[in-house]
Amino acid sequence: MLRPSEGLEIDGFKLGACLHQGGFATIWDVTHPLYRTPMVMKVPTILDGYDGPTIVGFEVEQMIMPRLVGQHVPRVMGVGDFSVMPYIVTERIPGKSLLQLFKTAPLPVSDVIELAARMAEAVHALHKQHVVHLDLKPDNFLRRETGEIVAIDFGLSRHDELPDLLAEEFTIPMGTFPYISPEQYLRQRDDLRSDLFALGAMIYELATGKMPFGQPERLKGVRKRLWRDPVPPRVLVPEIPDWLQEIILRALEVDPNNRYQSASQMLFDLSHPNQIKITARGLKTERDGFWTVFRRRRKMRKVRRFAAPPTMLSQIDRAPILMVAVDLSPEMEELAHRLLTWVQRMLVIQPDSRVACVNVIKTARIGLDPTTTDDGENIHVARLVTLKAWAEKLDLPEERLTYTILEHSDPGRALLDYAANNHVDHILMGARGHSSTRRFLGSVSSQVIAEAPCSATVIRLVQTASEEEAAVI
Amino acid sequence: MRLAILTDIHGNREAFSAVLADVEQRAIDRIVLLGDIVGYGPDPEWCADKAAALVEAGAIAVQGNHDNAVGDRAESMGKVAAAAMDWTRPRMNEAQRKFLAALPLTQELGDILFVHASANDPGDWIYVTGAQRAMGSFRVCTSRLIFCGHVHVPALISCGLTGQVQEHEFRIGAAVPLIRSRRWIVVVGSVGQPRDRSPEAAYAILDTGTNELSFRRVAYDVASTAAKIRATGLPEVLATRLLKGE
């Protein structure tokens, strides 16, 4: 087996300087006559003799990384065989890992939110591609010059459609102790919500400058997080708003079922802080008392595993963001009612969905913007009240509902932009029948259907024969 | 190159045709038959002729224990298998008997080995039912990929750089990269008599270019085959197990 060194040429790649020397791998600057993109090569440091964990971790990376696409992962240019020299060549992401930034924590709340949202966005991108990272920590996030966060180091990851080379191999829990989730401690490697726990721990650290569970050196110290709750962030930094504490502590819930159910739902809360329902979590001012912790410890003693979702995509599908575009005009009352029934039906099959109710106020293309006038204000408030009244009949807890009034000259565009920006999974909207004289409004739904970045369902009222005749005339 | 690997057809014409129709649509360059073309099922003649025609056209084929039993009465078999073989033997014509008897026990293609049961002692028909039983195969040859059948339950087993052998879970239809740091045994599920609680015909596709493997399942008219088995007087259990996939 070859050892990497400056000047070495392998499969057309020429090694430059060694950029980083870690415990398990070295990173080299490389060039290739066919590629102009700056690239790096990662070579595992395989000790002589038995070095199972390093080898298998690298095999996992070689298996998973070439399958990932998009802005949130480094692009893979080449993979090297173990028989000559194992390596992975990827594009070089300029800039440092988030580790430097974490060292400057606590950061101002606005920076925390911005970064947390970017991280959640990257994690959601991985989850949608069947991958749970399982070793999220500041060192494993890089930032592109354009701002997107890039996840690296997939040596402990799990792709839910590929064999898990690590599953049967090692019996100790794997991960980085300050960020590892309770279920990972219990050796579960199949739950995307483990990554949300790690995200929660990182946001905690960004906001307070402290790690929620300290830096345990032994497994025994990791186990404690199954019953011992972290100090509420607001105790450490009083400037932290209650809604941010709510987000952090929800992500850090011990039972995955009590956490955010998908990264996109977490991202949704980070983007709409004023609509977060504050529970006891957000208002907590001290750690749980002795007896609560004692009882929890007794209960956790018997826990061997937490219920995990059958597959990653099924979990994402179970917990979607459902956007409902409602037309509140008086003549559309019956359709709005129908739409409500359909949302209720969807909630039966997708019990963890978030419902985003959206209504658009059409503004003039040019000229006076009605929202700048007092009248405009009133329209906005009135619409919001009507929208809330409509959604009330869903009988959904407040934290799973949001209301948004958009103002735009092009209602279809406004709905599409909202869906894209909020990682909406499914759009539900009503459409007037083709008999409608107001063809213009009917075209909003066709525009949304044609251009939606996700699934879209249109609800129509069943037409009676006489209506159809009327339409022909 | 894309290979379609089929095994344990067992005289099931409906399943064999359904899989071949699926293969047609998947840009396959070469077909591999891992043996047991006849036995159990009601259409051994058709299946043997079809297999011979495929081999004529370039397919790779190896011999299974049932194929051998057609000409070799000493081949030991279970009660049901023996009864079905007694029914099958007289139906085979000279050409079919010759074709089945002449099939080799193993075939190689580059770094891939094809065998019906197990690479160690291929004529002993050892069932590769897990990591433990796979070790022998890894030991006796240097091939990077070993494809076998005989078990009727698909499985994926690897042997790592440090010699550790492990069985992996897989998902039907998902392409698995058979990474080169390991050697792999792919136990292909049965076309004509699946036993993993799914009645759908099983086969596998290997893309040697991307080095990816996918296990596939194909629905076919099980009821027809079961009806034929009943009409011919073959043991009833052969009909019910097709319907249940066990």
Q: What does the pLDDT look like over B88-137, one tens digit per residue?
A: 999 999 999 999 999 999 999 999 999 999 999 999 999 999 999 999 99
Q: What does the pLDDT look like over A315-371, one tens digit per residue?
A: 888 889 999 999 888 888 889 999 999 999 998 888 888 999 999 988 876 555 555
Q: Which domain holds residue B181?
A: 2-244
| Cα nearest neighbour of A64 on chain B | B177
Total domain count for chain B?
A: 1
Q: How many CB atoms lie within 10 A of CB A449?
A: 15
The whole-angstrom separation of Cα A97 and Cα A137 is: 10
Q: Which two tokens stand for residue B97?
A: 């008997």
**B173: exposed, middle or buried (Cβ count in 10 Å: 0-12, 13-18, 19+):** exposed
Contact: B162, A52; criterion CB under 8 Å: yes
Of B117, B93, B125, B107, nearest to B61 by C-alpha is B107
- Confidence bin at A32 (pLDDT 50/70/90): very high
Query: DSSP of B73-114, one letter per residue?
Result: TT----HHHHHHHHHHGGG--HHHHHHHHH--SEEEETTEEE
Ramachandran angles phi, psi of A151, nearest 5°: -90, 135
Contact: B177, A52; criterion CB under 8 Å: no
**B95: exposed, middle or buried (Cβ count in 10 Å: 0-12, 13-18, 19+):** exposed
Using the predicted structure, report yes or no on whether residue A438 has a pLDDT greater than 80. no
**Residue ranges of chain A whose CB lies within 8 Å of a chain B CB:** 50-52, 55-56, 59, 62-63, 66, 81-83, 86, 160-165, 168-169
The whole-angstrom separation of Cα A471 and Cα A75 is: 55
* ipTM associated with this complex: 0.82
Q: What does the pLDDT look like over A165-178, one tens digit per residue?
A: 887 666 677 889 99
Q: What does the pLDDT look like over A240-274, one tens digit per residue?
A: 999 999 999 999 999 999 999 999 999 999 999 98
- Confidence bin at A439 (pLDDT 50/70/90): low
Contact between B228 and B27 under an 8 Å Cβ cutoff? The reply is no
Query: For chain A, what percentages of helix, strand and coil (3-state, to nearest 5) are there?
Result: 40, 15, 40
Contacts of A293 (CB under 8 A, 6+ apart): A227, A228, A229, A287
Distance from CA of B196 to the nearest CA of A (A): 19
Using the predicted structure, report yes or no on whether residue A101 has a pLDDT greater than 80. yes
Residues in chain B with pLDDT values less than 50 = none
Contact: B174, A66; criterion CB under 8 Å: no
Which of B158, B180, B184 is the best substitution to test chain A (most A C-beta atoms within 10 A)?
B180
Using the predicted structure, report yes or no on whether residue A388 has a pLDDT greater than 60. yes
The whole-angstrom separation of Cα B215 and Cα B187 is: 10
Q: Tell me the HSE value of A218 on the side-chain side, using a 13 A CA sphere.
A: 2
Instruction: Name the DSSP letter for residue A253.
Output: -
Query: DSSP of A306-342, one letter per residue?
Result: ----SSHHHHHHHS-EEEEE----GGGHHHHHHHHHH
Q: How many CB atoms lie within 10 A of CB A351?
A: 10
Contact: A59, B169; criterion CB under 8 Å: no
Q: How many CB atoms lie within 10 A of CB A437?
A: 10
Residue A473 is predicted with a pLDDT of: 46
CATH of the domain at B133: 3.60.21.10
Structural domains of chain A, ranges and CATH numbers in brackets:
9-91 (3.30.200.20), 99-315 (1.10.510.10), 320-472 (3.40.50.620)
Of B33, B49, B43, nearest to B11 by C-alpha is B43
Residues in B closer than 8 angstroms to A83, CB to CB, are 180
Residue B74 is predicted with a pLDDT of: 87
